[in-house]
């Protein structure tokens, strides 16, 4: 007997390409996985103790859908100190179960059926799916190597139509590691103000910047005129090594937060109380562990640069933030999906094909350098050996924007 039909809407939503890689890796027990975008560290002891203390003290009940007041106060203070952003504790801050839910709530509150949302591409795997889940139309705009994969105001403006409702920005970016400078964010802000569109700003990697001129990536919400048209999506997952705690927050104007909190209450009543108390300690307590992670990622990034230096088969746009490297594999004469599969089969190294991040990621693979340093070095070494074994020298050519380009025709 057959079961009743599932909804066509759910069937039409794409599955994460990263999950496909995870499924393949499970069948290669000794594989070195460079796939997971997750810190190798765990939450600092004072964060864990705050969580345990909250349980011992009985803080395990439902909370305000916006989050407990100490959490919102901590978010407000942290956002002003670190990013120069000012948000009202009572009306403009909302706790969410991680950035992915925050992105969904933002899109659900902003998009009507048929509304377009511009997605600079390649992008984090859930962006297009969440837009579709909210009835929106994702409009990819290619990020370009000649711009070091940074956001570009001219390209965004060229994609705007009468149906454009929002543009989703991510800096530092996943999967590229690109950091968009304040000067370009100001140009993007001007475009959004002139065309009266929203910005959804995914800033979950904000403290991980390696160019030496700034300690964090700038936020478009700090630019004059953007407070009332920007929703900032944040998470403690990357910053404080709290991926499994599922805690983040939204910053936005009161009318927007009024709607996202209404939707959230209907979905889950309130956010995990223990995670909120832990988050207060994370945001208000010592920040040395965040600095240590930044230094660790900087050192691991250098491992990737060193191992690919002089490579005859791979081209790399030097990442300036987050903990990812986006590597051009087209000189190997195969598409990125085949490259990823064969690399796992032949060298037992797992990377994510660029097409998992949108069609504009074709020809690239993403590797994460957040994990164990020794495994990272060995994994990148094997990837280089594999690539040089399969390189097609005829495909080498000069391409602006690449850090390493040693392919000889």
The tens digit of pLDDT for each residue in 275-321 reads: 999 999 999 999 999 999 999 999 999 999 999 999 989 999 899 99
pLDDT score at 401: 54
Furthest C-alpha separation in the chain? 68
**DSSP type of residue 4:** P
Mean pLDDT value of segment 73-94? 98
Domains of the chain in start order, with CATH, are: 8-42+289-395 (3.90.1150.10), 45-284 (3.40.640.10)
pLDDT band at 402 (very low <50, low <70, confident <90, very high): low
Query: What is the share, in percent, of the chain residues with pLDDT greater than 70?
Result: 95
d(CA 370, CA 294): 10
pLDDT band at 22 (very low <50, low <70, confident <90, very high): confident
Mean pLDDT value of segment 209-237? 93
pLDDT band at 396 (very low <50, low <70, confident <90, very high): low
Mean pLDDT value of segment 20-39? 89
Mean pLDDT value of segment 81-105? 98
pLDDT score at 407: 33
How many CB atoms are located within 10 Å of the residue 261 CB?
A: 22
Task: List % helix, strand, coil for the chain (3-state, nearest 5).
Answer: 45, 15, 40
Q: What is the dihedral of CA 260, 84, 159, 166, to 10 degrees?
A: 10
Contact 21, 350 (CB under 8 A): yes
> Interior CA angle at 399 toward 393 and 401, to 5°?
135
Of 99, 350, 123, 93, residue with least CA distance to 242: 99
115-129, 203-217, 226-240, 346-360, range with the lowest pLDDT: 203-217
- Statement: residue 120 has pLDDT above 80: yes
pLDDT band at 406 (very low <50, low <70, confident <90, very high): very low
- Statement: residue 26 has pLDDT above 90: no
Q: Where are the beta strands (DSSP E) in 252-342?
A: 315-316, 324-328
- Statement: residue 50 has pLDDT above 90: yes
Rg of the chain taking only CA atoms, in angstroms: 21
Query: Global pTM?
Result: 0.94
pLDDT band at 199 (very low <50, low <70, confident <90, very high): very high
pLDDT, greater one: 268 or 403 = 268
The pLDDT mean for the chain works out to 94
- The Cα-based distances of 186 to 171, 176, 222, 252 in angstroms read 14, 21, 10, 18
pLDDT, greater one: 24 or 248 = 248
Q: Where are the beta strands (DSSP E) in 104-179?
A: 116-121, 137-142, 164-170
pLDDT band at 405 (very low <50, low <70, confident <90, very high): very low
158-181: pLDDT as tens digits = 999 999 999 999 999 999 999 999
Of 126, 110, 123, 129, residue with least CA distance to 151: 123
pLDDT score at 103: 98
């Amino acid at each position: 007997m057959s079961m009743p039909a599932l909804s066509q809407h759910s069937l039409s939503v794409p599955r994460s390409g990263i999950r496909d890689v995870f499924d393949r890796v499970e069948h290669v027990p000794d594989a070195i996985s460079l796939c997971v975008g997750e810190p190798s560290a765990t939450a600092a002891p004072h964060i864990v103790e705050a969580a345990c203390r909250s349980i011992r003290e009985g803080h395990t009940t439902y909370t305000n859908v916006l989050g407990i007041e100490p959490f919102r106060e901590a978010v407000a203070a942290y956002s002003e100190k670190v990013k120069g952003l000012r948000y009202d504790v009572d009306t403009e801050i909302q706790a969410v179960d991680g950035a992915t839910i925050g992105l969904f709530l933002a899109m659900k509150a902003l998009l009507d059926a048929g509304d377009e949302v511009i997605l600079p591409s390649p992008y984090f795997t859930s962006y297009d799916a969440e837009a579709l889940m909210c009835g929106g139309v994702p409009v990819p705009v290619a990020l370009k190597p000649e711009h070091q994969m940074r956001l570009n105001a001219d390209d965004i403006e060229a994609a705007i139509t009468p149906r454009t409702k929002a543009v989703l920005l991510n800096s530092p970016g996943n999967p590229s590691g690109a950091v968009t400078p304040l000067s370009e964010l100001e140009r993007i802000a001007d475009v959004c103000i002139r065309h009266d569109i929203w910005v959804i700003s995914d800033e979950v990697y904000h403290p991980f910047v390696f160019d030496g001129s700034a300690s964090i990536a700038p936020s478009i919400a700090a630019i004059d005129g953007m407070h009332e048209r920007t929703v900032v999506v944040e998470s403690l997952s990357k910053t404080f090594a709290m991926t499994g705690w599922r805690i983040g927050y939204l910053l936005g104007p009161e009318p927007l937060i009024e709607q996202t909190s209404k939707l959230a209450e209907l979905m889950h009543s309130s956010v995990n109380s223990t995670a909120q108390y832990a988050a207060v300690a994370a945001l208000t307590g010592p920040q040395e562990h965040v600095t240590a992670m930044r230094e660790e990622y900087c050192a691991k990034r250098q491992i990737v640069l060193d191992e690919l230096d002089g490579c005859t088969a791979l081209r790399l746009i030097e990442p300036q933030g987050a903990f990812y490297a986006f590597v051009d594999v087209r000189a190997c004469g195969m598409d990125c999906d085949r490259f990823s599969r064969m690399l796992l089969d032949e060298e037992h190294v797992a990377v994510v094909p660029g097409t998992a991040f949108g069609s504009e990621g074709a020809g690239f693979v993403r590797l994460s350098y957040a994990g164990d340093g020794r495994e990272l070095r060995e994994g990148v070494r094997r990837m280089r050996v594999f690539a040089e074994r399969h390189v097609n020298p005829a495909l080498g050519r000069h391409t602006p924007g690449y850090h390493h380009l040693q392919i000889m025709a």
